[in-house]
Chain A
Amino acid sequence: MSKPKKMTLSKKQNLMGWVFLLPGALLIFIMSFVPMFRALLLSFKSGVGANMKWSGISNYIRMFQDTVFVQSVKNTFFYLIIQVPVMLILALILASILNNKDLKFKGLFRTMIFLPCATSLVAYAIIFRSLFANNGLINLLFVKLGILDQPYAFLTNTTSARIVIIIALLWRWTGYNMVFYLSGLQNIEYSVYEAAKIDGASAVQSFFKITVPLLKPTILLTAIMSTNGTLQLFDESVNLTKGGPANTSITMSHYIYDMSFKYVPNFGYAAAMSFLILILVAVLAFLQMKVGDKRD
């Protein structure tokens, strides 16, 4: 493409590229960046409800003095650090197992593993709460097996409440990420695996030597998405633990939502906290892109 004689062709193609991406980019600009810009302006105002005044960067200072918000940042990072790597690795393993040509009932397994993320939030919240209830199935099982002497209040103790949230996230999103890996695996010739097998490579070896490197673009995609999703985590905090006990499992988005719709609304402050999330995700995504987004 870079050969001088193709210069005109390359220019033409460059232009074509813009035509292709124009509708999508334009829509994102209008539907996301315009409101984002207005939210940014809002973040420099403060006040109650619709009555807002310019207040400089006071909102940005305020959030570092807000003990609940600081707690929510810590909680969110706790989820991020544990849940994202575990989930992505699990999803990769499942995808490579289910990509095996000789496996029976593949379609059934795939659908079953995908189902959690299709399950409506309401049902999933009720089920998880009842599973981990004081007289729920998990407690029943643990007491019967002798692991626990008496029922343990999983959702009202800090550490276990956080672990339940992580388990719930793993349950819900592993199948979702598996879908991307499965679809990404289609771009790898199956014969490559067969050749590796003939050469005496073990399943583990071909996983690390073939699957992981070739899936790198997809892994990057899912890593950025999961990071973004976890930093904006909302549903689990609201529906499983209500942020409790004593705010030790509340997430940033949950707090922002409360600040906007449950408490006396302070949208300037809510917007400022939202932009902190943007900065955090952007930095992490940038690092991930630096590591993973290289064309060979």
Chain B
Amino acid sequence: MKRKILAALLASTMVLSLVGCGGGSAETPAAPAADSGAATEEAAPAADSGDAAAEGAPAADASAAGGEETLTVWCWDPAFNLNAMYEAEKVYQKDHPNFKLNVVETPWDDIQTKVTTAATSGDLSTLPDIFLMQDNAFQKNVLAFPDVCMDLTNSGIDYSQFAAGKTAYSVIDGKNYGVPFDNGAVVACYRTDILEQAGLTIDDFTDITFDQYLENGKKVLEATGKPLISMQAGECDLIMMMLQSAGASLFNEDGTANITGNDTLRIVMETYKSLKDAGVLTEVNSWDEYVGDFVSGNVAGTINGCWIMASIQTAEDQKGNWAITNMPSLVGAANATNYSNNGGSSWAVTTKCANPDLACDFLKSTFAGSTELYDNILPSGALATWAPAGDSDAYATPNEFFGGDAVSAKIVDFATKVPTNITGAYYYEARNAVATAITNYINGADLESELQTAEQTINFNMQ
């Protein structure tokens, strides 16, 4: 009897593992090749330096793959990034008929989890050939996992054609690790119909300072009862945008925290608090609420990366009532400008990639070399940071939602004027520390002691 039950258990385990393996191998034709043994061998030489791998590996691998040119890509957002990859595939296939992409939709958080897991456990075989990385996470990932991303400095990509403020995100120790993709240039968006009630126009918000912004905001508040802008509490998006607009960062060149000695940061914090105290800026709890505020007209506008315009346009009934311009500049800060950046992402090639030449050539001929691609993806809202794309006629097309303005060309122009700043590997830690400081400062705490605490927290994290 005992034996019977054991046999039954064994049998069921076997059936299950068969189901498991059967399912797995049927669904993943690439599975045998992805065996850990082969993969680590590939990863090991590539780990020392991207160049060595680029020269050594491809020939052998290309023949092994039987001339098939397939690349696996991880990225998120079907309407945006996935669409861009599919269009890039079409563009590249014109010259390379055998070329194929295997795009796996993976949210950014999941990409980060998978990359971290794979890199920490020392098994890179599960990674794709190319993945999309948030610009803010680039420094961190290259520092923590130097084996994951390939050095693309000598890949033949002409980085001078990208906006400098954008490329800087993926440059570590003078080496390029990413191909810049979508534009995060900051736009200030306003409901012109609401401004009108306060006797203001979009021109009153163009090339202004935050002092003027505050005065205008008070007028709007008086006339309509609506704040100019809402921001997520505890996420210091606006703080970071203000900082970068004056070319300032939370870190010094040498990577040390730059908080207590940072006069620009002090101005930013005071500006933010004055907006909040006047009621011109209101804080909300979540992203949904933030979007809900401008979609349903609870606020007169917003300031964010240009990708926010896609969310604004979901409010179809407000067509023609929106306009965009540049953001206000800081008063009293050295190098203050009306331009900044928030968000955006870049493509990274992994060292696991079996055919790095193909991956580089693909990116070079598409995202770093095809106006056709950028024209094709423009309708989805994907704006280039690659300068030649901005000269295309498609970018001069007026957008009726934004009052017939040629918004695309405008944003590409903004992007070229964004000051470069330092992200820092400990970007997220610093951001959280500053968010804590601004929260306490708004609630009445002393600015100097909050900044000191923030610097201590960051230094503690960097130990």
- Write the residues of chain A forming the contact surface with B, with a CB cutoff of 8 angstroms: 19, 23, 48-50, 62, 65-68, 126, 129-130, 132-135, 153-156, 241-247, 258, 260-265, 267
Contacts and interface: CB of A to CB of B under 8 A. Distances in A.
Contacts, number: 99
B282 A134 contact: yes
A129 B428 contact: no
Contacts of B235: 242
A241 B232 CA distance: 11
Contact of A133 (B2, B286, B429): B286
Given A245-B233, A264-B425, A264-B426, A134 B284 contact: yes
Contacts of A262: 112, 428
B285 A260 contact: no
Contact of B233 (A132, A153, A258): A153
B310 to A, nearest CB: 19
Closest A-B pairs by Cβ, 5 of them: A49-B144, A244-B234, A155-B285, A246-B439, A246-B436
Q: Which of A67, A129, A264, A267 has the most CB of B within 10 A?
A: A264
A135 B285 contact: no
Contacts of B147: 50
Contacts of B140: 263-264
A264 B143 contact: yes
A265 B425 CA distance: 11
Interface in B105-135: 109, 112-113, 116, 119-120, 122
A50 B122 contact: yes
A126 B9 contact: no
Contacts of A62: 463
Given A50-B147, A264-B144, A134 B119 contact: no
B144 A48 contact: yes
A129 B120 contact: no
B457 A68 contact: yes
B440 A246 contact: yes
Contacts of A68: 457
A255 to B, nearest CB: 10
Contacts of B99: none
Interface SS, B side: helix
Contacts of A65: 460
12 contacts: A48-B143, A48-B144, A49-B120, A50-B119, A67-B457, A133-B284, A133-B285, A153-B285, A244-B439, A245-B233, A263-B140, A264-B144
Which bracket fits the contact residues of B?
35 or more
Contact of B285 (A156, A258, A261, A265): A156
A130 B289 contact: yes
A242 B439 CA distance: 13
B461 A134 contact: no
Q: Which of B426, B432, B460 has the most CB of A within 10 A?
A: B432
B285 A132 contact: yes
B448 interface: no
B288 interface: yes
Contacts of B425: 264
B51 to A, nearest CB: 22
B180 to A, nearest CB: 23
B321 interface: no
B304 to A, nearest CB: 18
A80 to B, nearest CB: 23
Contacts of B460: 65-67
Contacts of A261: 109, 112-113, 116
Given A262-B112, A263-B140, 8 more contacts: A50-B144, A129-B286, A133-B289, A245-B443, A261-B109, A263-B428, A264-B143, A264-B429
B454 to A, nearest CB: 11
Interface string B386-401: 0000000000000000
